Amino acid sequence: MAARLAHITGSEHTALLGLGVYRPQRIVTNDEVAGPIDSSDEWIRTRSGIHTRRFATGSETVVTMSTEAARGALRSARIEAEQIDCVVLATSTWPLLTPAAAPQVATALGMGHPPAFDLSAGCAGFCHGLAVASDLIKGGTARHVLVIGVELLSATVNPADRATAFLFGDGAGAVVVGPASEPGIGPTVWGSDGTQHHAIRQDKNWVEFFAEFDERGAEAVRPWLAMEGTAVFRWAAHSLKQVCLDAIGAAGLRPGDLEAMIPHQANGRIIEIMARELDLSPSCALAGDIEEAGNTSAASIPLAMEALLRKGDAKPGADALLVAFGAGLSWAAQVVKLPNWQ
Ligand SMILES: CC(C)(COP(=O)(O)OP(=O)(O)OC[C@H]1O[C@@H](n2cnc3c(N)ncnc32)[C@H](O)[C@@H]1OP(=O)(O)O)[C@@H](O)C(=O)NCCC(=O)NCCS
């Protein structure tokens, strides 16, 4: 096993060099999720902006979805797997507490033995991963870092829960981060608020579940994802404006300079309110992948980035604000130059 030594010279600037995604095969309509929660296609479209989402089936797992997305990112970055010095995988839905998923993804990609670890910051995980990757490269610890956001939320959401069953979907997105001659990833503005840990949570821990199982056997109810929807909505829609402004300012820009905004695809109405409050230029493209992907938590920003580029709403090199927020509560934002994606 070759030793991996830290590089001794960091890079002043970093950038997204390539992007890849994996969208599960199975498309799930609003009508399909509406039945068990006494809802309707119309209610779901109006309240969340979601038309369809995708659910993983069969061989589509956190590891296989990540691996496929990473292959696309490596291809578009024109980087070989062996050139990756570190893998950072953001997820809240890898079903094991240990070991992490990232080493299996690195192995599946034929990378040898790079450092590879999972990162848990809810829906803000991908933007946390970018911050870590960029600073690893600036500090000289790594030259190329693979950052993956991946979720299999259909396994953790209760189909009978009105607050969550219609909202979430599955998928994966990945980027290669590397050194650059000019700034391609702006400073990250991030934070957390543990007093709000209950707002989006696993509704019981595994120790509690097994105690219940010992007592009630097959009647024990497994843990599910739970969310205080209205509180999360208010917080996300109205409290993150300053985070966005700080990230834009830290990149040396004003809101009107942005060519794209890619907020976490939490809810279509939250996205609209956030964009409206920032006073963006009319030509600024606003990501709206929630329509087709639902809320895919840590995967949502790279998936939305790919949709924006694929549809031609924004081009590689465009200045885009990324802002992600969710369980923790936690949040992170940075301005990036959009990468190549093919
Ligand atoms: C979940 C969410 C869409 C619910 O919308 P809301 O406007 O807050 O809905 P409320 O819970 O206040 O309920 C409003 C009405 O819709 C009904 N309702 C709630 N869920 C429903 C559902 N799934 N289908 C149909 N009706 C529903 C309620 O019973 C209520 O009816 P009433 O007015 O007759 O009493 C919204 O709170 C939300 O998107 N929150 C943020 C979620 C999010 O982004 N989470 C991820 C962050 S990472």
Q: Is residue 20 part of a domain?
A: yes
What pLDDT score does 136 carry? 97
In which domain, by residue range, is 244 found? 189-194+228-337
Does position 3 have pLDDT exceeding 60, yes or no? no
Q: Which atom of ligand 1 is nearest to the CA of 269?
A: 39
In this structure, the residue with its CA closest to atom 28 of ligand 1 is 162
Considering only CA atoms, which residue is closest to atom 18 of ligand 1?
162
Residue 1 lies in a domain: no
- Examine the domain organization and report whether 140 and 285 are in the same domain: no
Ligand 1, atom nearest to 327 Cα: 48
- At 223-243, the pLDDT tens digits run 999 999 899 998 988 889 999
Instruction: Provide φ and ψ at 170, rounded to 5°.
Output: -115, 160
Whether 102 and 45 share a structural domain: yes
- Does ligand 1 come within 6 angstroms of the Cβ of 163? yes
Q: Which residues contact 196 (CB under 8 A, 6 or more apart)?
A: 231, 235, 328, 329
Q: Is the CB of 166 under 6 A from ligand 1?
A: yes
For residue 313, give the CATH number of its domain: 3.40.47.10
Q: What is the CA radius of gyration of the chain?
A: 19
Do 166 and 255 reside in the same domain of the chain?
no
The last residue of a domain, from among 120, 149, 180: 180
For residue 214, being part of any structural domain is answered with: no
3-state secondary structure of 119: strand
Per residue in 184-224, pLDDT (tens digit) is 999 999 999 999 999 999 999 999 999 999 999 999 999 99
* 210 Cα to the center of ligand 1, angstroms: 31
Token pair for 3: 């030793």
Instruction: Identify the band that residue 341 occupies on the pLDDT scale cut at 50, 70 and 90.
Output: confident
Beta bridge partners of 192: 330
Q: Quick one: which atom of ligand 1 is closest to the CA of 266?
A: 44
Would the CA dihedral through 112, 341, 339, 279 be positive or negative?
Answer: negative
pLDDT, residue 104, reads 98
> What are the start-end ranges of the E strands in the chain?
13-22, 26-29, 52-55, 86-90, 116-119, 145-152, 170-180, 189-192, 200-202, 225-227, 260-263, 285-286, 319-326, 330-337
Classify residue 186 by its DSSP letter: P
Q: Which among 163, 169, 150, 159 is positioned nearest to 28, based on CA atoms?
A: 169
* Angle between helices 41-48 and 268-278 in degrees, nearest 10: 20
Q: Which of 113, 147, 180 is the last residue of a domain?
A: 180
Whether 300 and 242 share a structural domain: yes
Could you tell me which of 254, 302, 294 has the C-alpha nearest to residue 271? Answer: 294
141 and 33 belong to one structural domain? yes
| 251 occurs within a structural domain | yes
Give the single-character DSSP code of 110. T
Tell me how far the alpha carbon of residue 325 lies from the centroid of ligand 1, in angstroms.
Answer: 18
Amino acid 324: pLDDT: 98
Query: In the chain, what is the greatest distance between 2 CA atoms, to the nearest angstrom?
Result: 62
Domain boundary among 180, 208, 239: 180
Strand spans (E) along 59-188: 86-90, 116-119, 145-152, 170-180
Phi, psi of 196 (to 5 degrees): -105, 25
Task: Give the model's pLDDT for residue 129.
Answer: 98
Cβ of residue 231 lying under 6 Å from some atom of ligand 1: no
Pairing relationship of beta strands 145-152 and 189-192 according to DSSP bridges: unpaired
Whether residue 151 is found in the same domain as residue 247: no
162 close to ligand 1 (CB < 6 Angstrom): yes
Tell me if 341 CB under 6 Å of ligand 1: no
> Can you tell me the distance from the alpha carbon of 297 to that of 295, in angstroms, rounded to the nearest whole number?
6
Residue 174 shares a structural domain with residue 232: no
Count how many Cα atoms sit within 13 Å of the Cα of residue 157 in the half-sphere of its side chain: 27
Let me know if residue 201 belongs to a domain.
Answer: no
Query: Does residue 139 share a domain with residue 33?
Result: yes
43 lines ligand 1 (CB under 6 A): yes
Asked whether residue 147 falls in the same domain as residue 38, the answer is: yes
Are 66 and 173 within one domain? yes
pLDDT at position 2, please? Answer: 54
174 and 92 in a common domain: yes
Q: What domain count does the chain have?
A: 2
Q: Would residue 221 count as lying in a domain? A: no
Q: Give the catalytic positions in this structure.
A: 123, 264, 295
Which residues are CB-neighbours of 230 under 8 A, at least 6 positions away? none
pLDDT tens for each residue of 52-71:
999 999 999 999 999 999 99
CA of 216 to the centre of ligand 1 (A): 32
Q: Which of 230, 234, 325 to mutate to test the pocket of ligand 1 (most atoms within 8 A of CB)?
A: 230
* 39 CA → ligand 1 middle, Å: 10
Residue 216 falls inside a structural domain: no
CA 167 – ligand 1 centroid, Å: 10
The 3-state DSSP class for residue 248 equals helix
Ligand 1 within 6 A of CB of 233: yes
Percent of the chain past pLDDT 70, that is, above it, reads 98
**98 and 163, same structural domain?**
yes
Residue 10 exposed, middle or buried by CB count within 10 Å (0-12, 13-18, 19+): middle
Confidence at residue 238, expressed as pLDDT on a 0 to 100 scale: 83
Domain assignment of residue 126, yes or no: yes
